[in-house]
Amino acid sequence: MTSQRRVIVQVLADSDDHPAAEDVYRRASRIEGRISLATVYRTIRLLEEAGILEKHDFGDGRARYEEIKRTHHDHLIDVDTGEVIEFVNEEIESLQEAVARELGYRLTGHRHELYGTRIHKPEQD
């Protein structure tokens, strides 16, 4: 357990957004100067393989990460702002299982992202 790893893990734990490797590097650098992007990538990979981190791709060309929390959720991405909103829908979850089963598969994972634009609500402005 080196200081670099400690800092990276801390940064990820403190983030409630979905930072890319570069973001993690930037945030970690503020705390611990002696750190390199390569180490961030290596540590992120370790954490991912250990099942601690989840990798996402929201379509902007780089991987985004978040800690696996107790509650599973999917994401809605605001196409105008890039904001990421988490959602849970048990009905969709079980339908997915059913679809896979019908096709002769056991589900090992899934990726579900919604992309949308905010509905303008005049009374909220």
Q: How far is it, in rounded angstroms, from Cα 96 to Cα 110?
A: 9
Q: How is residue 123 annotated by DSSP?
A: G
What would the DSSP string read from start to end of 61-86?
Answer: SS-EEEEPPSS--EEEEETTT--EEE
Q: Is 30 in the site for DNA (CB under 7 A)?
A: no
- Supply 76's token pair: 């809605």
Q: Is 4 in the site for DNA (CB under 7 A)?
A: yes
Q: Is 13 in the site for a second copy (CB under 8 A)?
A: no
Q: Answer yes or no: are the C-beta atoms of 111 and 92 closer than 8 Å.
A: no
Restricted to residues 58-117, the positions that interact with a second copy (CB under 8 A) are: 59, 76, 78-79, 85, 87, 89, 91-92, 95-96, 99-101, 103-117
The distance of closest approach from Cβ of residue 101 to a second copy in the complex, given in angstroms and rounded to an integer, is: 8
**Residues of this chain that bind a second copy (CB under 8 A):** 57, 59, 76, 78-79, 85, 87, 89, 91-92, 95-96, 99-101, 103-119, 121
